[in-house]
Amino acid sequence: MAPCHERSGPWHEWLARGLVEMAAESESRPRNAAVGDRAMRIIFLSGRRVSLVPRDVLALLREPAVVIFIAVAVFLSFYVNPHDDVRVMAPLPRAMFILATAAVTVLMLVLPLLLMGRFLARLPMPLPSAVLIVFSALMTEVFSQWLLRGLLHHPTGGWATWGPTLLANLVMLAIFDLMFSLFVLPTTGWYRDRARSAAVPVTSAQPAATVRIGGQAFALRAILSIEAEEHYVRVKFADRSLMLRDRFSGVIGQLDAAQGLQTHRSYWVNIDHVDQLVTDRKGQTELRLSNGDCIPISRRRRKDCAAALARRDTGT
């Protein structure tokens, strides 16, 4: 475990130092390296879902497509800024204001992902991007009012204009969210590399130890568990998880009992990745996997799961 660093100096220096160290750590790791971090799950307004860890956020911010998208969004904000007070400003102060508020907006979108990654990874459901949008819009509006009145000494309508401009910011961020998730994210090298590394081509040298999910083939030995989530299935590996559109029953129908266990109507586990059968304080029985995940077992499947593990352990 890495030693803890004392927090010293002004808060902004401490925050900047932490971000620099995180960026350096991201640079030192190869892309898609297998790590033990648990991934956060994010669902965009378009319905697209991604699983990522904090260093993936930094990697995305360095993608050319993302940089261009942010630059275009800032350029558009120069002309459609919701603040009436900003529209009457001279071009140079107006440009400075737009750049400052855009930086705060982006920072407030990514900072929770960078600093709260472990907490967000424990959430039982994907984090809606709408939560990040609302938080970012609120913080940006507070910063805008302070910047206009406190730093630029620009006459404004005051906090009476807070509501309309906040609503306008929310609408703009929602539009940018849809454009990013639908058109920008799929073109990034990070996204394509994740999909390429997860997919396993089926060849004649590779027998039926694969399963097709969402139109892709995966090596069965690499899958820890499969979970049903409405019209999608979540496929978990040792270092990542994927959300793919497919029917859980159709996926499970490709597998036989020797390859894994359906512990629940919504869960399937690879028996080779089960560490042990555990019972919590409430008397609920679960399977603990090699990555630390605990998978619930329904009452009617407890005996079957225990018997399958016994056969695996005894080789019978």
Tell how strand 127-128 and strand 40-43 pair up.
parallel
pLDDT, position 206: 41
Distance of alpha carbon 52 from alpha carbon 114, whole angstroms: 11
265, 298 Cβ separation under 8 angstroms: yes
Handedness of CA 139, 141, 142, 148 (dihedral sign): positive
Torsion of CA 126, 295, 225, 31, to 10 degrees: 50
Reported as half-sphere exposure (CB side, CA atoms, 13 A), residue 142 has a value of: 7
pLDDT, position 204: 39
Q: pTM for this structure?
A: 0.54
pLDDT, position 69: 94
Q: Which domains does the chain possess? A: 11-192 (no CATH), 200-314 (2.40.50.1020)
pLDDT, position 252: 87
Q: List the beta bridge partners of residue 289.
A: 274
In this prediction, the residues of the chain whose per-residue pLDDT falls under 50 are 1-8, 11, 22-37, 200-208
Tell me if residue 284 falls in helix, strand or coil.
coil
Handedness of CA 294, 237, 234, 112 (dihedral sign): positive
User: Would you tell me how many other CB atoms lie within 10 Å of the CB of residue 250?
Assistant: 11
Per residue in 131-170, pLDDT (tens digit) is 999 999 999 888 887 877 766 565 555 555 667 778 888 8
Q: Give every strand in the sheet of 274-279, ordered side by side.
A: 274-279, 285-289, 294-296
